[in-house]
Homo-oligomer: A and B are copies of this chain.
């Protein structure tokens, strides 16, 4: 059996926007592991994974199945110890902190920037599910919830300030080489970037430079052309 990552797709089968799937794909590429992707829509996930998971990413690695991007990264480090995504156990805990910070600041803001645009980019069969589930979560219509990328760019710049300052001391959030904490933040920014047409970063923003470096790390993921 091969190695397959279940990825999320939009109406355009090439549109891959899930932040968590980007984290998993970066983690696999970091390890130098070849894999195929099986791109499914939101409403296909349960059936495609035989009821194993309601969310993607899901990794099939030979006979092993793992869901959740963080758990996939932990599995990869256990199974393929070369080129650690974490390394020292303290990095696992600190990566959890980065994950929670990213969720509460960047992902929360990202919803305001693109949630209605995501809806428009989905496969037709996903739209009712997405509208209903997200409007229940957000407590308002997708159109009311989305304030727009341009309007929120200042808030995103401010939200990223801890990363910006950390990146003035080192090339990656994780030091001299990227590790999973970099991929966590990268995945969330790729989510916004793949849906949005507006530039996310001012030309002189160190976070933008870091984002471009990360996008160029693994040409096999085909990010460079979309993240340029």
**Chain A interface (Cβ < 8 Å from any Cβ of B):** 87-98, 100-101, 104-105, 161-163, 165-166, 169-170, 172-177, 179, 181
Residue contact B161 to A96, C-beta cutoff 8 Å = no
In the assembled complex, how far is the CB of residue A74 from the closest CB belonging to chain B, in whole angstroms? 11
Q: Which residues of B contact A176 (CB under 8 A)?
A: 89
Known: A88-B91, A104-B161. A96 touches B169 (CB 8 A): yes
Known: A87-B88, A88-B87, A88-B88. A173 touches B100 (CB 8 A): no
Q: Quick one: which of B100, B165, B174 contacts A166, CB cutoff 8 A?
A: B100
Q: Which residues of B contact A101 (CB under 8 A)?
A: 101, 162
17 CB-based A-B contacts, threshold 8 Å:
A87-B88, A88-B88, A88-B91, A90-B174, A90-B175, A91-B91, A91-B94, A92-B175, A93-B172, A93-B174, A93-B175, A94-B98, A96-B165, A96-B170, A97-B163, A100-B165, A105-B162
